[in-house]
Amino acid sequence: MLNLIKKNYQYLFIFFVWVIFAAPYLFFGKVPYPSTYQVNHFAPWSSYPQYWGPVKNEAMPDVIDQIYPWRYLTINSLKTGQIPFWNPYNFSGNPHLANFQSAVLSPLNILFFILPFVDGWSLTVLLAPLLAGCFTYFFVRSLKVSQLGALISAISFMFCGFITVWMAYGTLSLAIAFLPLALFGIEKWFGSKKFWALLVLGFSIPLSLFSGHFQTSLYFLLFVFVYMLFKVFASDTKKLAVPIFMSFIFGILISFPQLLPSAEFYENSVRSQSYNTGGGITWWHLVTVFSPDFFGNPVTRNDWMGNYAEWANFVGIVPFALLFFSLFSFKKNLAVRFFIVAVALSTLLAIDTPLQAVIGKLQIPVLSTSNPTRIIVLESFALAVLAGFGYENLIEFIQKRKRKNLLIGFIPSLFVILIVWIGILFLKLPSVDAFLIAKRNMILPTILFSVFVFTIFLGIYLRSKKIILKCVIVAILLIVSYDSLRFVQKWMPFDPRHLVFPDNPVITGIKNNIEFGRIFGNLGTQVESYYGFPSIEGYDPLYIGKYGQFIRYGVNNEFLEGERSVVRLAKFEPEAQRVLDTLGVVLIFHPLGDTNQSWAFPVWSRDGYQEIYRDEKFALYKNSTAFPRVAFFNQAEVVKNSKEILSKFYSSSFDYRNTVLLEEVPNVSLNKNTKGEARIVSYTPNKISIHTKADGDSILFLADNYYPGWKAYVDGVETKILRANYTFRAIVVPEGEHDVVFTYFPESFRLGILGAIIGLIGLVVLAFKIKK
């Protein structure tokens, strides 16, 4: 048993550090989800007088608004045997699988079938740093770094700034965790020519791309591709290039079921036209690489600079110091050169320079439309790897008593720390509070650096005793681990599990009254997505662009592009009622405290609204003039110009209750005296069944977004879907009684499956051929 521990102590150490971090979940029943933040700040829970407890971290609203409810929708659909291609609860219908952050295809979703949902979520979140640490260890060891050097790299990366601040999302951190695994596969291929190395690389690509954040995975792909080029040019055997590039291509093909629908959605979304021309990290903020709270922390409510999560680049004071020791290997070690260049380039791309504007103006898909600062994760990874090399040189200098080299190695980090202290003490910071925050948060990094330096020089003078050198090594590991753990434990919330979407009376009231209609009010997408309440609004930059234009036209009766991250109805405009009616909004959610307030929809003073629920905090009103989600029209007007359609629909003279606007002439003869009725039989994300009955040919209008991939059938025979009222669906239904079915199975996903099959077969054949 002791021999087994000795052989595997490095893995046990990584696991031990992870267990310390995950202890609140593993031993105390808490979950890595900001539940106290949810119930204290999000409707409807925040309005009830119950004391929920203090909030630790208020800097991750998207976990509550988007990621957790979307994953809940994903798992519930998968458990019913449906792939959740569509989200019917936000934006009047929106692609779901095509939205990367839904992580529909993540292999870790299997956890949700084994464990209760909140535990599946917890392990998905917590596995990211563990996987990142283990994979980094594998990779750095493959670079011929010692076990202890690789351990320092692993601990540094597994709790670096990016992985820590985005861990609770269960997507970004996991997407980058597979980067060192892919590099390990490349390194092993060029080092040993083993067939399994090609499999490691090939499968690491979909593992990242299925994790739920395309921007992060794009950085992953770029880094992997550049590293492959580096290895090809550094290798004496150029014929090794073909298999490794084929493995890379096959890995991308395997990812096509996610990539193709997402590319289609991106082109149809408002995000594709929203370019960033700035927003980089200010250069002085790089001090957070070793002093993460120099500018404060949202957890302690003293973040005076802002952008804490977006600009997080922490790796720790020891890895930062070891960076300069790695420079001693610059000439003789190609890998060190590569990662030093990687640090320089990733930092240059992340900080605020004119380069940000150039990239934005180039209008490169994803890169030009995303926050540029997140590429800083590549800097963190490269620094962590270099720390392993730096450790090797440091130990060599200790063993050989090269005091001069030690002094030269420590001078740059000492100089940086002194410059920072001079800046704190002699430069004028924005306020006294900023001065105190910066000063206080530089003390611990300075102490840790001092202890580190003292330990190293103590090791030199007592080198004759082997136990001393071992103590020095242990001390370095402990400093690195402590620095990382105190950072991640400060940031990550572990909150009571019973506060994760707790039961609430008004939620029950909505369930009992919404039927197949929609809800409107200051409720929030977290409630709508999680509980399955269809809404006309939504929060995410990935939504159908034409829908954003439709909703925003009502602001001033003029054409406007959709907002970048949100769809909000101009509730005070006179034509808001026609939108609510047309889109089947049957319920208005109204906090009683908002009555007579200027920011609330004035449901209390409008005709056609009946109160159907009330408790001490909320009321629900029924909109008696709302259309059903499916409605017959026996009058249609064809308008081929898109902007004219919006102008017509929002015109006060347009009879929206009896006339539907179409972009093409329907193949039907309409009679305004035709009468009929339509009833939804069943409604699931990918399939809507409707029973119709009419005494003449009619137009059946469905108040759900028009989008490629939807098909309609009348009595089993496919019929054309018409774009109606600018962005919704309609079909021609003949006289009589019929069963109508709308189904969604995007062609992009079919092609993606074909690509995945080709990729899988290609990767297996390639590996088998190499093995032979």
pLDDT tens-digit map of 111-147:
999 999 999 999 999 999 999 999 999 999 999 999 9
Mean pLDDT of the 556-584 span? 86
Confidence of residue 287 (pLDDT cuts 50, 70, 90): very high
Distances (CA, A) of 164 to 37, 311, 489: 18, 12, 9
Q: Are the C-beta atoms of 326 and 340 separated by less than 8 Å?
A: yes
Q: Where are the beta strands (DSSP E) in 422-558?
A: 495-496, 518-521, 538-539
Q: Are the C-beta atoms of 152 and 322 separated by less than 8 Å?
A: yes
Tell which residue, 70, 72, 50, has the closest CA to residue 62.
70
Confidence of residue 682 (pLDDT cuts 50, 70, 90): very high
Q: Using CA atoms, how far apart are residues 755 and 546, in angstroms rounded to an integer?
A: 29
Confidence of residue 7 (pLDDT cuts 50, 70, 90): low
Confidence of residue 574 (pLDDT cuts 50, 70, 90): confident
Residue extents of the structural domains in the chain: 2-31+98-102+115-495, 32-97+503-626, 630-747
Mean pLDDT of the 577-606 span? 90
Q: Which of 195-199, 351-355, 415-419, 710-714 has the lowest mean pLDDT?
A: 351-355
Convert the pLDDT of each residue in 706-764 to its tens digit: 999 999 999 999 999 999 999 999 999 999 999 999 999 999 999 999 999 999 999 99
Confidence of residue 14 (pLDDT cuts 50, 70, 90): very high
Mean pLDDT of the 531-542 span? 92
Mean pLDDT of the 64-83 span? 95
In degrees, rounded to 5, the angle at the alpha carbon of residue 269 between the alpha carbons of residues 265 and 273 is 125
Output the pLDDT for position 630. Answer: 94
User: Do you find a cis peptide bond into 298, omega within 30 degrees of 0?
Assistant: no
| Residue 383 backbone zone (phi > 0: left; psi -120 to 50: alpha; other: beta) | alpha
pLDDT > 90 fraction of the chain, expressed in percent and rounded: 72
Token digits of residue 737? 């009684």
Q: Are the C-beta atoms of 73 and 84 separated by less than 8 Å?
A: yes
Q: 169 pLDDT exceeds 80?
A: yes
Convert the pLDDT of each residue in 473-499 to its tens digit: 888 999 999 999 999 999 999 999 999
Output the pLDDT for position 184. Answer: 98
Output the pLDDT for position 160. Answer: 97
Q: Where are the beta strands (DSSP E) in 549-651?
A: 566-567, 585-591, 609-614, 618-623, 630-633, 636-638
Convert the pLDDT of each residue in 16-45 to its tens digit: 999 999 999 999 999 999 999 999 999 899
What is the bridge-based pairing of β-strands 636-638 and 660-662?
parallel
Cα Rg of the chain (Å, integer): 29
Q: Using CA atoms, how far apart are residues 485 and 689, in angstroms rounded to an integer?
A: 53
Tell which residue, 242, 138, 130, has the closest CA to residue 193.
242
Q: 362 pLDDT exceeds 80?
A: no
Q: 4 pLDDT exceeds 60?
A: no
Output the pLDDT for position 566. Answer: 87
Output the pLDDT for position 346. Answer: 94
Token digits of residue 159? 């709790």
Confidence of residue 272 (pLDDT cuts 50, 70, 90): low
Q: 364 pLDDT exceeds 70?
A: no
φ/ψ of residue 234, rounded to 5: -85, -15
What is the bridge-based pairing of β-strands 736-744 and 710-714?
antiparallel
The letter for the amino acid at 444 is L
Tell which residue, 517, 513, 546, has the closest CA to residue 645.
546
Confidence of residue 63 (pLDDT cuts 50, 70, 90): very high
pTM attached to this predicted model: 0.93
Percentages helix, strand, coil for the chain (3-state, rounded to 5) are 55, 15, 30
Q: Are the C-beta atoms of 315 and 322 separated by less than 8 Å?
A: no
What distance separates the 2 farthest-apart alpha carbons in the chain?
103
Output the pLDDT for position 104. Answer: 96
Output the pLDDT for position 586. Answer: 95
Q: Using CA atoms, how far apart are residues 661 and 598, in angstroms rounded to an integer?
A: 33
- Torsion on CA atoms 234, 236, 240, 244, rounded to nearest 10: -10
